[in-house]
Structure 1
Amino acid sequence: MADTSPASLAKELLAILDRDEGRLHRIDNFIRGRHDDPYMPPQADDEYKLLAKRAVSNWMPLLIGTPAQALYVDGYRPGKATSGLPVASSSTSGQWAHWQRSRMDARQAAIYRGALGFGHSFVLTEKTKKGVISKGLSAKRTAALYEDPANDDEAYAALTVTAKPKGETPGKARMFDAKYEYAVTFKSFSDLDSVRVGGRKLHGASECPVTRFAASVDLEGRTMGVVEPMIPLQNRINQTIFDLLVAQTYTSHEVRYATGMAPPMQMELVDEDGNVTTDAALAVDSRPKLDGAGNPVPATINHNARRFLFAEDPDVKFGSLPAGPIAPLIESVDMSIRHWAAISQTPPHHMLGQIANLSAEALLAAETALARKITEFQSLFGESWERVFRIAAEMDGDGAAQDDFAGEVQWRDMESRSLAQAADALGKLADQLGIPKRGLWKRVPGVTQTEYEDWEQMAEDDDSVGQLASALTRATPDTGIPASPDSEVVAA
């Protein structure tokens, strides 16, 4: 039987962080633009190394930012009523109050970007003095254990590092299981003998309060982000850019040459004692200047487009070497970027900036693969948010919401379309298909949750006024005498 003591779990979780540290650090470097150096000769000088630094073209943030900017939770609709009352709206439910208390409108983007970059990120739900809140945790500092990592959404233990070791000061971490939170100290990820588990306390939930947000999980339980598969192609692009810069620097211009002519030498003045002098009045002769090895030093030739070359010797010949072509290298860069777009499901016009003369149908077709990928991420992350809401409800003492497995996260529609097009489409849905008009309000482009709730309240107010007017009409007897224009109806 496996050892499930707190100390054993802490060691296993720290071992996972130690195992994944190198891989995650490499991914983080590529996200931040610290890429592998392109190939260059072993004897490369400083000029080559400078070109290598300038050859880095970091496409990784685009891989993460393009889908992340389309992921925005705009509401949550509970799936069942509490206390026999009608289902609460998004803004009045306890789950959405927890969302606002946690300031997730601004913080959710970091959770998605972490999951897309590293393959997974985490959210911790906990009780604080301000109430129950949730916050994101980095994959570089957090690990979780699952009985079935491919299918379970509930970890049986999780650990997050709050302070890394520094000198003689040990690192600190918080570990959670299905009931308790533990304080953990350690000297390093690899020094498992130094792991110490301190006191424990109840965290307030009946399961581990750490939720995994995975961009992709296979049946082996392995997570994969959008960055790691593209590292080889990113290196290929950097190598091609480096070759282009080298060709542009050394062979992209004509090289002029002269044969049969010795270059002029630098001369220095000497006095009558044979010593070098800079005073022309004391100089009696001149001689070629020698370097440290005793060789004459040639003079610098100031040559540019405004100067004319000539030689007195008739055997001197002038000529030029043609510039090397750089168009094939530019075409190679374009080809690599197109491969990048195909493999990453990123629309080519997002990367190449070529959108001229594209029809609406062509743009829609180019965006289809990206839309499908975003829909997949919404499904994965939506299930994770629903678990977060259930844990928060349990910590808040809302038993009904705790067991609400039918609630749904509402994602904001980030598709670009004009208000006139949307109004025409929504009108046809209402008139031709008979869909209730109030059911289409959420599909109005750009509508916020607050505006939607205001519309509902105004509609209810209008209904109340209409019902009151109808009731007064039915209660007033018809005398057959037309009412005077100056008469007033007073409702007691």
Structure 2
Amino acid sequence: MADTSPKALAVELLAILDRDQERLQRIDDYIHGEHDDPYMPPQADDEYKLLAKRAISNWMPLLIGTPAQALYVDGYRPGTSSSGLPQASSSTSPQWAHWQRSRMDARQAAVYRGALGFGHSFVLTEKTKEGVKSKGLSAKRTAALFEDPANDETPYAALTITVKPKGDVPGKARMFDGRNEYAVTFKAYGDAESVKVGGAKRHGASECPVTRFAASVDLEGRTVGVVEPMIALQNRINQTIFDLLVAQTYTSHEVRYVTGMAPPLQMELLDENGDVTTDPTQAVDSRPRLDGAGNPIPANVNHNARRFLFAEDPDVKFGSLPAGPIGSLIDSVDMSIRHLAAISQTPPHHLLGQIANLSAEALLAAETALSRKITEFQSLFGESWERVFRLAAELEGNDAATDDFTGEVQWRDMESRSLAQAADALGKLADQLGIPKRGLWKRVPGVTQTEYEDWEQMAEEDDSVGQLAAAMTRATPSAPSPFTEEPIAA
């Protein structure tokens, strides 16, 4: 049976971080533009190296930001109530109060970007002086253990590093299991002997309070983000752009040449005694300046488009070499970016910036693959957020919400549509399909939870005033008209 003591768990979790450190650091480098250098000759000079630095075109932030900017949790609808009816989402519910207390409106983006970049990120839910709050944890500092990493949503242990070891100063970490929290110190990731685990402290939950957010999990439990599979294509783009810069620098300009003429030489002045002088007034002669091997040193010729070349010798010939074509290299860059768009399911016009002469149907078709990918991320991250809400409810003592497995995260509709189009579509749903109008309010583009509740309150007030007016109308007898003629007795 495996050792499940706190120290054994801490050693195993630190070993996981040590194992994944190089891989995650490489991904992090590519996200921040620190890529492998393009291939260049071993004898490359400083100019080549400068061009190699300028050839880096970092597409990775765009691959992460495009789906991340379409992920925004806008509400949480609890499951069925004690009466068996579904509950409406509310900004005053305990679950949403925990969300606002944690400032997750702004911080949720970092959780998604971490999961999309590294393949996974984590959220810690804990009691604080301000109440129960959640915060994101980086995959480079956090590891978790699962009995079945492909299917379990609850880890049986997790560790997050708060201070990395530096020199003789040990690192610090927090470790959580199903009941307790432990303070961990260590001198190195792989040094099991230096790991020390402090006393246990109850964290208040019945399971590990760390939740994994995975962008993609296979049946082996491996997580993959959107960056790592694209590194090879990113290197290809950098190499092609480097070749383009080299060709642009050395062959894209017309080169002039001259034959049959000796180059001008650097001259030094001589005085009447044959000594070298720098005073032109004392110079009586001159001679070519020689290098260390006794060879004349050619003079530097500053030639540009404003200068003319001429020679007295009729045998001297002038000419020019045509510039080399670079169109094929530009086409190669364009092709590589299209491959990147196809494999990453990113619309090509997001990368190439070419949206001219595209119909609405063509734009919709280009966005289809991205919409499907975003829907997949919403289903994966939504389940993780629902576990966070259940943990927060348990830590707050809300027993009913703790066992609520029918709650649902509500994602904001980030699809690009005009308000007129949305209003027309929603009106048809209400009129032709008979869907209640209030049930469509949440689908109005850009509406927030607070605005939705304000609409409900105003609608109820209007209904109350209308019902009161109708009741008063029914209760008040109608007065006879003064123009009504009384019947005349015969």
| TM-score of the pair, normalised by structure 1 | 0.95
* Residue 354 of structure 2: aligned partner: 354
CA distance in 2, matches of 1:479, 1:269: 126
Is residue 79–residue 86 contact of structure 2 (8 Å, CA) maintained in 1?
A: no
* Residue 368 of structure 1: aligned partner: 368
1:220 aligns with 2:238: no
* Residue 488 of structure 1: aligned partner: none
Deviation of the 1:84 alpha carbon: 8.8
Deviation of the 1:57 alpha carbon: 0.4
* Residue 304 of structure 2: aligned partner: 304
CA distance in 1, matches of 2:284, 2:478: 138
1:414-425 to structure 2, matched below 5 A, reads: 414-425=414-425
Is residue 150–residue 222 contact of structure 1 (8 Å, CA) maintained in 2?
A: yes
Deviation of the 1:213 alpha carbon: 0.2
Write out per-residue CA displacement over residues 41-79 of structure 1, whole angstroms, 9 at most, x where no aligned residue.
001010000000000000000000000000000000001
1:120-139 to structure 2, matched below 5 A, reads: 120-139=120-139
1:433 aligns with 2:433: yes
Is residue 253–residue 322 contact of structure 1 (8 Å, CA) maintained in 2?
A: yes
1:266 aligns with 2:266: yes
Deviation of the 1:127 alpha carbon: 0.1
Write out per-residue CA displacement over residues 333-388 of structure 1, whole angstroms, 9 at most, x where no aligned residue.
00001101100000011111111111110000000000000000000000000000
Is residue 114–residue 138 contact of structure 2 (8 Å, CA) maintained in 1?
A: yes
1:136-285 to structure 2, matched below 5 A, reads: 136-285=136-285
Deviation of the 1:85 alpha carbon: 9.5
* Residue 444 of structure 1: aligned partner: 444
CA distance in 2, matches of 1:421, 1:314: 78
Task: Classify the secondary structure of the residue corresponding to 1:281.
Answer: helix
Aligned CA distance change for structure 1 residues 460 and 251 (closer, same or farther; 3 Å): same
Task: Classify the secondary structure of the residue corresponding to 2:121.
Answer: strand
Task: Classify the secondary structure of the residue corresponding to 2:281.
Answer: coil
Deviates more, 1:299-308 or 1:412-421: 299-308
CA distance in 2, matches of 1:386, 1:46: 55
Deviation of the 1:291 alpha carbon: 2.2
CA distance in 2, matches of 1:286, 1:222: 79
Deviation of the 1:317 alpha carbon: 1.5
Task: Classify the secondary structure of the residue corresponding to 2:264.
Answer: coil
Structure 2 residues without counterparts, runs of 5 or longer:
483-490
Deviation of the 1:279 alpha carbon: 1.1
Write out per-residue CA displacement over residues 436-470 of structure 1, whole angstroms, 9 at most, x where no aligned residue.
00000011111111110100111111222233334
Sequence identity percentage: 84
Is residue 29–residue 35 contact of structure 1 (8 Å, CA) maintained in 2?
A: yes
Deviation of the 1:191 alpha carbon: 1.2
Is residue 75–residue 89 contact of structure 2 (8 Å, CA) maintained in 1?
A: no
Name the amino acid aligned to 2:302.
Answer: N
* Residue 115 of structure 1: aligned partner: 115
1:478 aligns with 2:471: no
Q: How many residues align?
A: 482
CA distance in 1, matches of 2:375, 2:180: 36
CA distance in 1, matches of 2:478, 2:283: 135
CA distance in 2, matches of 1:365, 1:151: 33
Task: Classify the secondary structure of the residue corresponding to 2:388.
Answer: helix
* Residue 101 of structure 2: aligned partner: 101
CA distance in 2, matches of 1:124, 1:302: 66
Name the amino acid aligned to 2:321.
Answer: L
Structure 1 residues without counterparts, runs of 5 or longer:
484-492
CA distance in 1, matches of 2:153, 2:320: 70
CA distance in 1, matches of 2:365, 2:219: 31
CA distance in 1, matches of 2:185, 2:23: 24
Task: Classify the secondary structure of the residue corresponding to 1:301.
Answer: coil
Deviation of the 1:219 alpha carbon: 0.3
Is residue 81–residue 88 contact of structure 1 (8 Å, CA) maintained in 2?
A: no
Deviation of the 1:419 alpha carbon: 1.0
CA distance in 1, matches of 2:160, 2:354: 44
Aligned CA distance change for structure 1 residues 479 and 419 (closer, same or farther; 3 Å): closer
1:459-478 to structure 2, matched below 5 A, reads: 459-474=459-474, 476=475, 478=477
CA distance in 2, matches of 1:193, 1:82: 53
CA distance in 2, matches of 1:56, 1:327: 20
CA distance in 2, matches of 1:100, 1:309: 75
CA distance in 2, matches of 1:429, 1:205: 44
Task: Classify the secondary structure of the residue corresponding to 2:74.
Answer: strand
CA distance in 2, matches of 1:302, 1:103: 63
CA distance in 1, matches of 2:471, 2:141: 65
* Residue 56 of structure 2: aligned partner: 56
Indicate the RMSD between aligned Cα atoms, in angstroms.
1.5
CA distance in 1, matches of 2:158, 2:86: 37
Task: Classify the secondary structure of the residue corresponding to 2:287.
Answer: strand
* Residue 4 of structure 1: aligned partner: 4
CA distance in 1, matches of 2:250, 2:281: 45
CA distance in 2, matches of 1:482, 1:339: 83
CA distance in 2, matches of 1:87, 1:365: 36
Deviation of the 1:296 alpha carbon: 1.1
* Residue 407 of structure 1: aligned partner: 407
Deviates more, 1:165-174 or 1:124-133: 165-174
Name the amino acid aligned to 1:388.
Answer: V
Task: Classify the secondary structure of the residue corresponding to 1:175.
Answer: strand
CA distance in 1, matches of 2:253, 2:8: 66
